Structure 1
């Protein structure tokens, strides 16, 4: 398949009249799949009402069919086409955080969406992206867009069009290049069908932000205990992993450097994932500073590029620092834990 690639300027108005946007929307209406930027990561969009289009998303990604897709809309009125009930707490969150990096799970209204998009579940996950290019494509197409991250399953999510090209060139109809994404990690997924809304995936909106609007919010225990089964089907799969094995190091900088030295003495090529504050303390074959420890959103926005950076090197093992499970740190650690297959080396054990 020939993959079209278009560039758009995010800093101009009237996106819906752009020829690139119109072409991409026409492909979506013909049940092809197209990658486009959102404020979190690049999404791989297809017509959420059509089984054929949804099947193409799963095929291009190599994604398991029991992993439901997030439905993207550009108009809250469209929500009522396929959502059975909007709880009051969900309304408050939509007022505060939509458009934005928050996905809300609702009870599904039968008959509108492809059952493949929701993996046959009675619920549906919906968000309204904040990126103007994404909103323009959805509006121009006139259909709800199912859109997981635009990467091959298991690999680090894409935060640039080049990342999408690396993974999906020849597998999809088109890619719209809108420049690097901002947030850098996927949206927060919040189940609002529960009595107490529950975070199934931490992301761009923090638990603290959610609670400031609606009060108590739970966190799926599986996010902090690898022994528990996750409530979100997709969270049981391996995600975000670089090619080389990644190990998280719970300990001092000196301990991490000791691990690096031992592996290098054995002839290994070692990568270190750190922050700008700590980069000076390490010596390895490849040392990548992934944002600032005292400004965790910069770590989130750089995380997937850091993991992909190591894929472009000849490292055969990677050691990473850890972060506190608070605020955006919860999302960062969730992605790192899954990328490392929960491999943690503790200095005190």
Structure 2
């Protein structure tokens, strides 16, 4: 793998002339050379490369250590870029674009003839979204091409929500990181597949089941069985392999705080250094080596926003075993639990 002195390019003034910002221009020049750069979106930081270049896509897989049979999401800054990228747009997809673009919604559509087959993993569809972040939009526009951009982390690790997270994982592997501060949503985009009749959620994310139903109608949104059943092959980018995992073994606990503390005490008695992933409301209840709140249980959007940062914090603390609380699978809680279950490899202890 080619080695780089990875630079950090700060962009902290999101004005309307961002496309002329020297760091945006610098990033776009690397992309035009079929290299990859990290950039902020409203969900997580992405590792971006020219979606029409086989070389750029190969560099994304190489830098992340990601299997090449895992499709990527293509990011656009203008709907005009859909021409040639997709071959058709169902009516429901149009409705969702009108409602949620730019924003954390990825739509899987029949692919056109300009996208690299390495992006789609040779599938007949391509996943597309328009990010709601001025830096990402400016880089796409300055580069002049749609950008493939999975999360800018080592494959399998928690997704990055700050430039520091990207640097920890990809230092020396990429030429540069555009630092636009912390991301807002904190979990990846919702991925859906559309027909004229139904919308199927392939990956839960920042746009909820209820949000989608509000646009396309009650009863017209379904959830892909592959999300809940590990034996079925998921059809969405970012869902095929174990994801979001901290370094230490992670187990979810579906039970009372008292039950979770009992599990912790047992492991501590065996000499292990224990971490607990909890919320602001319960952080003072637990006794462990490292107790990290991800946000407020009463405001799950804050949990989504800080989830990956919390998971990464356990790595810094040198924890041997992590226990995590579960959350109601409603609203954005569906996305939170999807990420936690992936992080835990499906390991859940019930009281």
Matching residue of 1:282: 286
* Matching of residue 204 in structure 1 with residue 181 in structure 2: no
Gaps of 5+ in 1: none
* Matching of residue 304 in structure 1 with residue 308 in structure 2: yes
Alignment of 1:269-348 (within 5 A): 269-347=273-351
Deviation of 1:113 after TM superposition, in Å, equals 1.2
Deviation of 1:220 after TM superposition, in Å, equals 1.0
Across the aligned residues of Structure 1 and Structure 2, the Cα RMSD in angstroms comes to 1.1
Q: Give the whole-Å Cα distance in 1 for the aligned partners of 2:97 and 2:151.
A: 22
Q: Give the whole-Å Cα distance in 2 for the aligned partners of 1:172 and 1:230.
A: 29
Matching residue of 2:103: 100
TM-score by length of 1: 0.97
Alignment length, in residue pairs?
346
Q: Report SS of the residue matched to 2:177.
A: strand
* Kept after mapping to 1: 8 A contact 2:6/2:175: yes
Matching residue of 2:251: 247
Gaps of 5+ in 2: none
* Kept after mapping to 1: 8 A contact 2:71/2:119: yes
Matching residue of 2:216: 214
Matching residue of 2:27: 24
Q: Give the whole-Å Cα distance in 2 for the aligned partners of 1:332 and 1:166.
A: 23
Q: Report SS of the residue matched to 1:81.
A: coil
* Matching of residue 120 in structure 1 with residue 122 in structure 2: yes
Matching residue of 2:151: 149
* Kept after mapping to 1: 8 A contact 2:189/2:206: yes
* Kept after mapping to 2: 8 A contact 1:257/1:283: yes
Matching residue of 1:70: 73
Deviation of 1:226 after TM superposition, in Å, equals 3.2
Q: Give the whole-Å Cα distance in 2 for the aligned partners of 1:233 and 1:34.
A: 19
* Kept after mapping to 2: 8 A contact 1:101/1:205: yes
Matching residue of 1:192: 194
TM-score by length of 2: 0.97
Matching residue of 1:163: 165
* Kept after mapping to 2: 8 A contact 1:106/1:193: no
Provide Cα deviations, 1:203-229, integer angstroms capped at 9, x if missing partner.
Answer: 010010001000221111122233433
Alignment of 1:131-150 (within 5 A): 131-150=133-152
